[in-house]
Every structure is written in C-alpha cells, then in structure tokens.
Structure 1
Amino acid sequence: MKKVLLVFCLIAISTLGYSQISGGIKGGVNFANVDADGDPDGKTGYHVGAFLTVGAAGIFIQPELLYSFKGAEDFDLTYIEVPILLKKNFAKVLNVHLGPQFGFLTKAEADFGGGSQDIKDELKGMDLSAVVGAGLNLPGGLSAGLRYVLGLSDIADNDALPETKNRTFQIYVGYKLFGN
C-alpha cells in the first residue's frame, strides 16, 4: 500500500511540472426558471465570480466561485455557486465543459402581490446541479461561452410545496488575470 501511495505521489508531483495553471474573472447573464407546478415565467439575472483552470494536454479541471441571481417571475433566489468542471479544449479555440455544481442559498424573496417576503426558510440551503456548456478561448486572455445548469435536487423544503428545481441558461465572458 505504501508503494502504491509513493508511486501516486511521484506521478502527481511530476505532472505538476507539465501542468498549465490560469485564473481570472467572469460574469454574464442568467436566463433562469424553476421546474415546478404552474410553470412560472422565467427571470433574467446575472452571475459574477472567479475561475481557476489546472490541467495539461488540452484537458483541464476548472473550479469556479460565482455569485448568481436566479429565480422565476415572482421570486428571487441568490446563490453562491461552486461549479467543478472537466474542460476539454479543441484546436485551442473551442472548449466543452461539464460537471457538478454546488449552490448555497444566500437569499430568497417572493412577491405575492403584497410586497416582498423572505421565503428562505421554505427552501433548502443547498442545490446540486449538473452543468454542460461550450466556450471560446479568445485572444488577449478573453473567453466567452454558453452553459446550461440543470438542477438535480428539489430546493423546496416544505412538504406543502411542489417539487421545485432550478433551471438556468447562462451566457458569459471571462478574462484571464494570470497563466497560460
């Protein structure tokens, strides 16, 4: 067992010398909705944050930290989101990415006609989603892309509420602050 661990550590250390590391900032538009009874109209929001990309030979792991505004027609949801994406570059310009995203609810308000009400206690504090998208690696450290975030977990924390899942289509731009 010790030999296996030693070999694994040596391989990991040797690949760090060949890895590419970069990071930067990103932001964009969210076209959000929820999958729930009554099929509410969507809401346009935004997301901003940072990313780190680590990998080699055109295959990367890209964790991100995002502040994201979502919801539907009569309610606003705000999350801190952490997507952890597997990213594959093609021809240095195009990339595809997919992976899980962990969302942490920071604010939830609904407008039922009588003003805004806090509904955070009616919702779960965490949201698990699947992310799939494509992007462009542009000159000068710029990037742009499209992404779909499919909510996998029911965010309703009240048995009286129907099953509710987030759905978000994102358009984003990014800028590398350091790295290749």
Structure 2
Amino acid sequence: MKLRQTIIGIVAGVFFVLGSVAQAQVLPKFGVKAGANYSTFNNTDNVEYKAGFVGGIYSSIKVPASPLTIQPEVLYAQYGAGIENSDAWFRVNYLQIPVLLKFGFNTPGVQPNVFFGPYMGINLNSEVKNESGSINLDDQAEGTDFGIAVGAGLDISKFNIGLRYTVGLKDVANDNFNDEAKNGAFALTVGIEF
C-alpha cells in the first residue's frame, strides 16, 4: 500500500512539474479518452488474446516552436489473456501511467501523429476467471508493471483517435509463480480535449 501511495505521489509531482514548466510557455490542454484493449501474455504458451477496456485522462503539453507534444496519461487498463481450449481467462487490471512523446505532422484539418514512451502500471487486481466463478491471483502477480508504448493517431479539432501497442518489460507473475509472461496489448482509443 505504501508503494502505491509513493508512486501516486510521484506521478502527481510529474504532472505538477510538467504543467508548471509548460505554463511558462504554453498552457497544457486536458482530455479524456476511452477504447478497447486486445491483450495477451508474451513469452508464454497456451494463451490467446482477450478483449478489455482502457480509458482515463491525459494532458497535452506542446513544446514551443516544435512539432513535439509531451502527453502524460492516467488510464485504467484491463489486461490479461485467454487460456487456449478453455472458457477461462486471466485478467490483470492496472492503473497505467504512460508518458508519451508525440510528433505531429503539420497538415491542415486532420493532423496525423506518431508517439512513443514508457509506461508504469500499478496492479489493481489479478484473477483467473471462467463462466462459473473466479480465483484471486493477487499473491501470485507483481504489484507493478513497466514497459513501452508506441503508436500513431489522428487529431481532428478537439477530437483524437489513436492506435497503440504496449509491450511489458517486467514479468506479470512474481518469482513464486515461476513464469516469464509479460503483458502485450493493442489498444484503440478515441478522445476529446477540453
């Protein structure tokens, strides 16, 4: 619990510092986004992709006199994987915090962009589930996740659409579970900026 509070404090501090620095030049913009995740576990056998939800808030901080934008986000992301030849699936829900560097192409109207950056995830709960019930796996799952997000999108006035792939760099399960499974997910999101 103390680790989660520390991480949340660090993230709040990053938002404050980025906002303060950006305010001297350009005011940050804020928005909300939501969409679908299509996730699995990489580096393991007998699993398949599973659909889930992703959504949350973000801030866009334009770097003056450049096509770059810094975009920190706080997302709720449902990850996991289906178990092959079974009606069961793993579900791992995260509070995910990406900090993306976005490169926008200056075109009139619709503006395409590409982005990449690191993310950190805080495990909110883990379970294996089927139609008849679920088993809690919080003791077998790592409390945090780290990885890289890369993707592309379109900005249309105050609206945006993005497609990204996130690849986890840390094992999902802890050492007691003895598995090297890492998160991997495609996500399609739509958002609006205020």
TM range, smaller chain: 0.7 to 0.9
Gap change, CA 1:14 and 1:23, over 3 Å in 2: closer
Q: Per-residue deviation at 1:111?
A: 2.9
Corresponding residue SS for 1:157: coil
- Give the CA RMSD over aligned residues: 2.0
On the 8 A contact 2:96/2:119 being kept in 1, the answer is yes
The structure 1 residue matched to 2:95, chosen from 61, 70, 80, is: 80
Provide structure 2 residue ranges, at least 5 long, that are not aligned to the other structure: 1-19, 83-88
CA distance in 2, matches of 1:160, 1:44: 24
Residues 1:152 and 2:169 are matched in the alignment: yes
Q: Per-residue deviation at 1:30?
A: 0.2
The structure 2 residue matched to 1:59, chosen from 54, 65, 68, is: 68
Provide structure 1 residue ranges, at least 5 long, that are not aligned to the other structure: 1-12
Residues 1:42 and 2:49 are matched in the alignment: yes
Gap change, CA 1:15 and 1:51, over 3 Å in 2: closer
Q: Per-residue deviation at 1:147?
A: 0.3
Q: Give the paired residue count.
A: 164
Gap change, CA 1:15 and 1:36, over 3 Å in 2: closer
Q: Identity percentage over the alignment?
A: 32
CA distance in 2, matches of 1:14, 1:157: 38
Q: Per-residue deviation at 1:136?
A: 0.3
Residues 1:137 and 2:155 are matched in the alignment: yes
Corresponding residue SS for 2:171: coil
Per-residue Cα deviation, 1:68-107 (whole angstroms, up to 9, x for no partner): 1110111111000000011111125011110000000001
TM-score by length of 2: 0.78
TM-score by length of 1: 0.84
CA distance in 1, matches of 2:176, 2:182: 14
Match in the other structure for 1:71 = 80
Mean CA deviation greater in 95-104 or 55-64: 55-64
1:170 maps to a residue whose letter is A
Per-residue Cα deviation, 1:36-78 (whole angstroms, up to 9, x for no partner): 4324011100111000011222211100000011101111110
